[in-house]
Amino acid sequence: MLPKYLTAIAVAISAAVALSPDTARANCDSGETTIKLSHVVAASGHPKGDAATAFAAAVNSELNGRICVEVYPNSTLYDDDKVLEAMLLGDVQMAAPSLSKMEKYTKRFRIFDLPFLFRDAESVYEFQDSAAGAELARSVEDKGLLMLGYWPNGMKQMSANKPLVSPEDASGLKFRIQSSEVLQAQFEALDASPQKLAFKEVYGALQTGVVDGQENTYSNIYTKKFFEVQDGLTESNHGILTYGVVTSTEFWNSLSAQDRGDLERILARVTSESRASAKASNLSAKENIISSGGTVRTLTAAQRNAWVNAMRPVWDQFSDDIGSDLIESASSFSN
Ligand code: SIN
């Protein structure tokens, strides 16, 4: 047992570390425009964490003296539910929230949460790169937000404190969800009870039994250790997790044309590198879960079809909000 004064010092140090931006931050000099980039996931070994770190490193080296990026990972600055409000107040200049968070600004963003809409990450990229994807990105501009691009993660898997093989196995269980009406309807369609919780609260909620299960990508499940407090995962690939790289129009318009152009160029490069590595990152997270003693169950085609049949009716509930034209356009990339 540590003496009390040492415990106090340890607590103070860990609080200071938790509040510090990520090590990818340069020491911003006075005169440089500082961009605080806030996100909620691990700083490395994760598609978004790695993209944010790479973006900061590139800006801090290539635009040194003009622009400086400080990355705040692991919800150390804001959680995803708060970050866009903070951005509109000018307290943070960039964030990469899950697109589930964008429904507050445009209901058409609900498309990204529809279960079994996208076959794989590549079909998501094709949709995001299409005219419809670009128009969707622009649809938040009248709310004071500018989506500079999309960052990838991957397909979502289910987990619970009991094996999930058929949709009936989920019945009666409490599942943590992001704050999304579509995800709520998805679990209600399984006769389960969805609970909206911030990402930083998920591990504790699973551990203490506040919720029984959750859905997320392998990279999130591994880096946040959710698998350690679950019976196992089911490789359902039932949905996707992808991000919007967002800034405020006010901040963006305060930059010079050259700064905006340079940031866009670096962002495009980092995004393409992130797409190239996101699949491998999730695969290696899956392997790490298994080698750490976690269970990953795969489904036969018939078993997976049962999940599709149970969850697919959710589309009809949201087709007016999203627009059936947009749903058709997005599904065309998975045919
Ligand atoms: C994230 O990947 O940014 C978090 C997603 C979640 O809240 O599950």
**Could you read off the pLDDT of 19-45 as tens digits, one per residue?**
444 444 457 898 999 999 999 999 999
According to DSSP H, which parts of 242-322 are helical? 249-254, 257-291, 301-311, 314-322
Position 273 pLDDT exceeds 60:
yes
| Residue 66: both structure tokens together | 């003009």
d(Cα 54, Cα 95) in Å, to the nearest integer?
Answer: 14
Query: Which tens digits make up the pLDDT trace of 287-304?
Result: 999 999 999 999 999 999
Please report, for residues 45, 138, 270, 277, the alpha-carbon distance to residue 48 in angstroms, rounded to integers and kept in the order given: 9, 21, 11, 11
Gap between the Cα atoms of 51 and 271, Å rounded: 7
pTM of structure = 0.91
Q: Does 282 contact ligand 1 (Cβ within 6 A)?
A: no
Rounded mean pLDDT of 230-243? 98
Can you tell me the distance from the alpha carbon of 14 to that of 9, in angstroms, rounded to the nearest whole number?
A: 9
**Is the separation of the CB atoms in 184 and 196 below 8 Å?**
yes
Q: How far is residue 50's CA from residue 43's CA, in Å, rounded to a whole number?
A: 6
Task: Indicate the CATH number of 4-332 among 3.40.190.170, 1.10.10.10, 1.10.3720.10, 3.20.20.60.
Answer: 3.40.190.170
Query: Rounded to the nearest whole angstrom, what is the distance from the C-alpha of residue 198 to the centroid of ligand 1?
Result: 8
Residue 335 pLDDT class (50, 70, 90 cuts): confident
Q: What is the mean pLDDT of the chain?
A: 93
- With 0-12 / 13-18 / 19 or more C-beta atoms within 10 angstroms meaning exposed / middle / buried, residue 272 is exposed
Q: What's the CA-to-centroid distance between 4 and ligand 1, angstroms?
A: 36
According to the model, what pLDDT value does residue 26 have? 52
Choose one of 46, 176, 199 to mutate for the ligand 1 pocket test, by most ligand atoms within 8 angstroms of C-beta.
Answer: 199
**Tell me: the pLDDT tens digits for 154-168?**
999 999 999 999 999
